[in-house]
């Protein structure tokens, strides 16, 4: 990322794909993933621009884990970053797009995380 004249960032928004970031901090363990999502978001907020989480997801194949991760991401954003993060997009709709990432399987049947997504994203 390159700053413009006077140290400003010449964009309207900053978008991130925080795959593998723990949400909340150190969940499910401090050794899982690549870091804490809050650290990444705090670093992005430092630019003074609104944030978009333009892709987040999990392809572990463990529906209970993915459902909890999805809920944790949305809960983290709404509890700590609601004024800074304007959009959160879950990747992806169907396992037919990319295996294990969907909230529905390749045949369109809802997975465990489907209802969790509806209850969380619907209020966004």
Biggest CA–CA distance in the chain, Å, is: 53
- Per-residue pLDDT band at 76 (split at 50, 70, 90): very high
- Per-residue pLDDT band at 17 (split at 50, 70, 90): very high
How many helices, marked H, and strands, marked E, lie in the chain?
A: 3, 5
- Per-residue pLDDT band at 106 (split at 50, 70, 90): very high
Name the CATH superfamily for 12-121: Glycosidases (3.20.20.80)
State the Cα–Cα distance between residues 24 and 16, nearest whole angstrom.
17
- Return the number of other C-beta atoms located less than 10 Å from residue 85's C-beta: 20
Q: pTM, whole model, 2 decimals?
A: 0.86
- Per-residue pLDDT band at 1 (split at 50, 70, 90): low
Residue 100 has a pLDDT of: 93
**What mean pLDDT do residues 50-64 have?**
94
Query: Is residue 122 pLDDT above 80, yes or no?
Result: no
Residue 47 has a pLDDT of: 86
**What mean pLDDT do residues 3-30 have?**
85
């Amino acid at each position: 990322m390159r700053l413009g004249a006077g140290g400003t960032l010449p964009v309207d928004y900053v978008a991130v794909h925080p795959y593998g970031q723990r949400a909340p901090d150190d969940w499910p363990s401090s050794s899982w993933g690549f870091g804490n999502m809050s650290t990444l978001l705090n670093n992005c907020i430092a630019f003074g621009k609104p944030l978009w989480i333009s892709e987040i997801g999990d392809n572990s194949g463990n529906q209970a884990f993915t459902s909890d991760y999805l809920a944790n991401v949305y809960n983290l954003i709404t509890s700590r970053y609601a004024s800074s993060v304007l959009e959160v997009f879950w990747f992806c709709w169907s396992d037919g797009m990319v295996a294990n990432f969907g909230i529905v399987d390749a045949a369109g049947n809802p997975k465990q995380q489907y209802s969790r997504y509806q209850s969380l994203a619907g209020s966004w």
